[in-house]
Amino acid sequence: MKVEKLAQKSNDDKENEAGARDKLIETASQIMREGDTIDISFSELSVRSGLNSALVKYYFGNKDGLLEAILERDMTKIVEDVGLLIKKDMPPEDKLRHHIGAVIDTYYEFPYIHRLTMRLIRDLPPEGAREIADKYLKPLSEAYNIFVGDGIKSGVFRDVDPDLFYSAVTGAADRFFTGKLVWKYCYGRTDFDERMRDAYRNQTVDLIMNGILK
Amino acid sequence: MKVEKLAQKSNDDKENEAGARDKLIETASQIMREGDTIDISFSELSVRSGLNSALVKYYFGNKDGLLEAILERDMTKIVEDVGLLIKKDMPPEDKLRHHIGAVIDTYYEFPYIHRLTMRLIRDLPPEGAREIADKYLKPLSEAYNIFVGDGIKSGVFRDVDPDLFYSAVTGAADRFFTGKLVWKYCYGRTDFDERMRDAYRNQTVDLIMNGILK
């Protein structure tokens, strides 16, 4: 085999490898989203991805490793987006309104993300828990301190504690999308779709903005 | 043995029986509260209650039966309180303010209650899920339709969809108390106590009331 062919083969392997790893992450994410759960079985993952579940061990070490990889994929973009928003030249009330809408869209897309974060923080050894808090939660908490602090300073927001506010906002944003089954059994409705997401986003963003604006 | 003695013995047995059943419920509730989890092991339950875990099977059939009994204990009072509040002669904004404060206190006391409800609705057969929705969730949803609808009619509240509002309020109320570990790892704080609950209650009730009041 020529050197070029060998190099090509090695690249193909790398692509296949990345493809299989990504596919396991995406399939696990879909299972959690559809089942409204963070409990995934290796057998379901294997059937739905078409990949041998031994690959989970190979790529991620164990189930926690897979869960961490899902969290990393989903959270990295969120943290980056918030970083970009902070730098924008925009009044704090517009930043906050935009951000809350984005949080709601994120929970619609990844309704498991809070439970997944809490599960890892609870079950990992303390240094692993601290690492997750440092990588994903602290930057978001700092962003709230900046958004909200700027709005209080400029006189448009009421005087609130940003950490407590962060908790209320993410809780309000999240709850609706973990409640698909409530929608079904309580209201007899199955129209839990993008139209519902938009209605929830509009009302909840207004509720919170009216709540914090002076 | 005299008849009186026999009757006495039978009463004692009944008391012991009720005592053991209640103790299993209370111990399981404490384990879920302290561990911020709804996963309880029979061995931990047995050690902490001082009771044989075979009694779970005897009283509750299985683990789901125990979980349903915990939900019943915790939710019945909530639904009763909301029913009493509806009947009170009080402006809708005062009722809502009082109610949101009570929701926050409830989540402080039973931080597992939403996850427990969702777990049972997800895992029980459809008729069991519907029963839980009918017993606990529908009365609360109806109460929101009354509180919020009255306030819209009387002109003090903005025009909101009560079901979406219910979701935002309970999410905001709940999130803080499932975040004890965030408090620890993200902010390095361990003062997750009644003072914090009061601070959270005050700020969140104000935020939501400012959000809905015209």
3-state secondary structure A66-91: HHHHHHHHHHHHHHHHHHHHHHCCCC
pLDDT, residue A7, reads 54
Please tell me which residue, A2 or A109, carries the higher pLDDT value. Answer: A109
Torsion of CA A151, A153, A155, A159, to 10 degrees: 80
Contact A157, A92 (CB under 8 A): yes
Q: Which residues of B touch A163 (CB under 8 A)?
A: 187
Question: ipTM of the predicted structure?
Answer: 0.88
User: What is the distance in angstroms between the Cα of B50 and the nearest Cα belonging to chain A?
Assistant: 26
Q: Torsions phi, psi of B33, nearest 5?
A: -65, -50
Torsion of CA B197, B200, B203, B209, to 10 degrees: -90
> If contacts are CB pairs under 8 Å, which of residues 125-144 in chain B contact chain A?
126, 129-130, 132-133, 137-138, 141
Tell whether B124 is within 8 A of chain A (Cβ).
no
- Best CA proximity match to B184, nearest among A103, A81, A97, A130: A130
Please tell me which residue, A16 or B42, carries the higher pLDDT value. Answer: B42
Instruction: Write out chain B's pLDDT in tens, 214 residues.
Output: 555 555 565 666 666 777 999 999 999 999 999 888 888 999 999 999 999 989 999 999 999 999 999 999 999 999 999 999 999 999 999 999 999 999 999 999 999 999 999 899 988 898 999 999 999 999 999 999 998 999 999 999 999 999 999 999 999 998 888 877 788 877 788 888 899 999 999 999 999 999 999 9
Beta bridge partners of B157: B213
Counting one residue from chain A and one from chain B, the pairs whose CB atoms sit within 8 A come to 145
Tell whether A19 is within 8 A of chain B (Cβ).
no
Tell whether B34 is within 8 A of chain A (Cβ).
no
H-only helix segments in B36-53: 42-49
Q: Residues with Cβ < 8 Å from A9, sequence gap 6 or more?
A: A1
Q: Which residue's entry shows tokens 């897309």? A: A109
Q: Residues with Cβ < 8 Å from B100, sequence gap 6 or more?
A: B169, B173, B204, B205, B208, B209
Tell whether B165 is within 8 A of chain A (Cβ).
yes
Rg of chain A (C-alpha set): 20
Residue of A174, A176, A185 lying closest to B133 (CB–CB): A185
* Other Cβ atoms within 10 Å of A210 Cβ, number: 16
Distances (CA, A) of A2 to A7, A45, B46: 9, 38, 68
Tell whether B118 is within 8 A of chain A (Cβ).
yes
Per CATH, domain A1-61 is 3.30.9:
no
Taking the domains of chain B in order of start, what are their residue ranges? Answer: 1-61, 67-212
Contact B169, B104 (CB under 8 A): no
Look up residue B152 and give its amino acid.
I
Beta bridge partners of A213: A157
Q: Are residues A158 and B36, on separate chains, in Cβ contact within 8 Å?
A: no
Interface test with B, best of A32, A34, A118 (most B CBs within 10 A): A118
Q: Are residues B129 and A181, on separate chains, in Cβ contact within 8 Å?
A: yes
pLDDT, residue B8, reads 60
Distances (CA, A) of A154 to A56, A88, A147, A169: 50, 16, 11, 21
CATH of domain A67-212: 1.10.357.10
A1-61 and A67-212: identical CATH topology: no
- Best CA proximity match to A85, nearest among A133, A172, A147, A34: A147
Gap between the Cα atoms of A121 and A130, Å rounded = 8
Residue of A186, A204, A209 lying closest to B137 (CB–CB): A186
Q: Are residues A176 and B167, on separate chains, in Cβ contact within 8 Å?
A: yes
Interface test with A, best of B117, B121, B134, B195 (most A CBs within 10 A): B121
Contact B112, B37 (CB under 8 A): yes
